[in-house]
Amino acid sequence: MIEEGERVVLIDERGRKYLVAAEPMQLHTDLGVVDLSTVIGQEPGARLKSHTDKEFIVLRPRITDYLQKMRRVPQIMLPKDAAQIVAYTGVGPGDLVVDAGTGSGALAIFLGNLVRPNGHVTSYEVREDFARLAEQNIREAGLSDIVRVKLKDIYEGIDERDIDLVTLDLAQPELALPHVELALKPGGHLAVFSPCIEHIQRLYQELPKYRFTNCRTIECLVREFEVRPGATRPRTRMVAHTGYLTFARRV
C-alpha cells in the first residue's frame, strides 16, 4: 500500500511516465489534472482518473524511472553504456566502487543501486554545483546510504582502498591512473568513458606504466526497432555515438 509522501510513477494511456510524490498536490498534464492525494493508500497497479476522465496507472518506481526523470547536467552516461560496465566488470551487490566525476550522479546512482545493500559508491566531483545536484538526485533515488559524493579532485588522489571498480568519466583519465592503481584491489576493474578518440590514445600511452591486464576498448551501439504490422524496420535515426568504454583489470 502506498503511503503518504512515497514516490510513485504514474503512466498515462500513451505510456508516458510521471515521477511524483503521493501528497496533497495536483499533477497538471495535457491529459488533464490528477489529484495526487488520491494515490495514498492505493496498491501498485491501481488506476486513477484525471479530471478529464483519462486513466493513469500507479506504480512503484524502479531505478530506471529515477534515472530517466532525474535533473541532469547536459551530458550523462546513457544506461546502454553504464550497462556495459556490468557486462565487462561484473559489478554487483557488495562491491566497493569509486566514481569520478559525478556530474549529475547518473552513473553513481546506477552503480549504487547494483551494489546494495552492502556495497558502497564514493563519487568524486570538483564542481560544488554538480555535487549538490547529484546529492539531491541520490536522495530522491533513495540511495543516500549507499552513494556518497566527495568534493575532491580525483587527480589529487583516491582515499579509498581495496576497491572493486573505479569508473572514470573525465577529460584526462590518464592523470588518475597512479591513484587508481593504489585504490583497486588485485583483480579489481577500471572502466573509463571517453567521448573522443584522443582520450583513449593518451590513456593507452600511460596504461602500460601501471599494473593492468586485459585492456579492452569498445563502443556500444543500440538500435531501436519499429515493429508494426507490415512495417517492421529500424528507427530512421539513432544516437550513433556517446563514447568509447575502456576496461582494464588490476593485477
Interacting residues with its own copies between 100 and 129 (CB under 8 A)? 113-118
Nearer to its own copies, 126 or 215 (CB): 215
C-alpha cell at 29: 498534464
Per CB under 8 A, which of residues 181..200 are in contact with its own copies?
185-187, 189, 195-198, 200
Q: Kindly tell me which residue out of 37, 64, 144, 172 binds its own copies, with binding defined by CB under 8 A.
A: 64
C-alpha cell at 120: 558502497
Report how far apart, in Å, the C-alpha atoms of 239 and of each of 3, 44, 78, 162, 224 are: 39, 33, 10, 36, 10
Q: Is 33 in the site for its own copies (CB under 8 A)?
A: no
Nearer to its own copies, 151 or 171 (CB): 171
Q: Is the peptide bond before 186 cis (omega within 30 degrees of 0)?
A: no
Binding residue count for its own copies, defined by CB under 8 A: 81
Nearer to its own copies, 60 or 132 (CB): 60
Q: SS3 of 70, please?
A: coil
Q: Kindly tell me which residue out of 24, 41, 44, 157 binds its own copies, with binding defined by CB under 8 A.
A: 44
Per CB under 8 A, which of residues 140..179 are in contact with its own copies?
164
As a whole number of Å, the end-to-end CA separation of the chain is 49
Q: Kindly tell me which residue out of 30, 90, 145, 172 binds its own copies, with binding defined by CB under 8 A.
A: 90
Q: SS3 of 25, please?
A: coil
Rounded Cα gap, residues 27 and 186, in angstroms:
51
User: Least Å distance between CB 151 and its own copies?
Assistant: 27
The interaxial angle of helices 106-115 and 128-140, nearest 10 deg, is 40
Q: Kindly tell me which residue out of 29, 38, 84, 136 binds its own copies, with binding defined by CB under 8 A.
A: 84
**Is the distance from CB of 213 to CB of 248 less than 8 angstroms?**
yes
Q: Kindly tell me which residue out of 9, 76, 170, 192 binds its own copies, with binding defined by CB under 8 A.
A: 9
